[in-house]
Structure 1
Amino acid sequence: MTTLKSVLDTHTTEFAESAQAMRTKLAEITAEHAKATAGGGPEKLERHRARGKLTARERIELLIDEDSPFLELCPLAAWGSDFQVGASVVTGIGVVEGVECMIIANDPTVRGGTSNPWTVRKSFRANDIVMQNRLPVISLVESGGADLPTQKEVFIPGGRAFRDLTQASAAGIPTIALVFGNSTAGGAYTPGMSDHVVMIKERSKVFLGGPPLVKMATGEEADDEALGGADMHARTSGLADYYAVDEPDALRIGRNIVRRLNWTKQGPTPREKVAEPLYDPEDLLGVVPSDLKVPFDPREVVARIVDGSDFDEFKQRYGSSLVTGWADLHGYPVGILANAQGVLFSEESQKATQFIQLANRANTPLLFLHNTTGYMVGKEYEQGGIIKHGAMMINAVSNSTVPHLSVLLGASYGAGHYGMCGRAYDPRFLFSWPSAKSAVMGSAQLAGVISLVNRASAEAKGVPFDEEADAGLRAAIAEQIEAESLPLFLSGRLYDDGVIDPRETRTVLGMCLSALHNAPVKGTDNFGVFRM
Structure 2
Amino acid sequence: MNFVSSWNPQSAPAQQRAEAMRERVSQLRALEQRAAGKSAEARAVFEKRGQLLPRERVALLLDSGAPFLPLAALAGYLQDSKDAAASVPGGGVIAGIGFVSGVRCMVVASDSGIDAGAIQPMGLDKILRAQELALQNKLPFLHLVESAGANLMRYRVEGFIHGGALFRNLARLSAAGLPVVTVQHGSGTAGGAYMPGLSDIVILVRGRSRAFLAGPPLLLAATGEVATEEELGGAEMHAAVTGLGEFLAEDDREALGLARQLVASFRRKPQSKAWMAGQARNDKETAEDLLSLMPANLREPVDMREVMVRLVDDELLEFKAAYGSATVCAQGSIAGHAVGIISNNGPIDVAGANKATHFIQWMCQLGHPIVYLQNTTGYMVGKDSEQGGMIKHGSKMIQAVTNATVPQLTIQCGASFGAGNYGMCGRGYAPRFLFSWPSAKTAVMGGEQAARTMQIVSEAALARKGIQPDPARSQAQFDQIVAMFEAQADAFYTSGLLLDDGVIDPRDTRAVLAFCLDTIAEADATTLRPLQFGVARM
TM-score range, shorter chain: 0.3 to 0.5
Query: Which one scores higher on RCO, CA 8 angstroms, separation ≥ 6?
Result: 1
TM-score between the two structures when normalised by the length of structure 2:
0.47
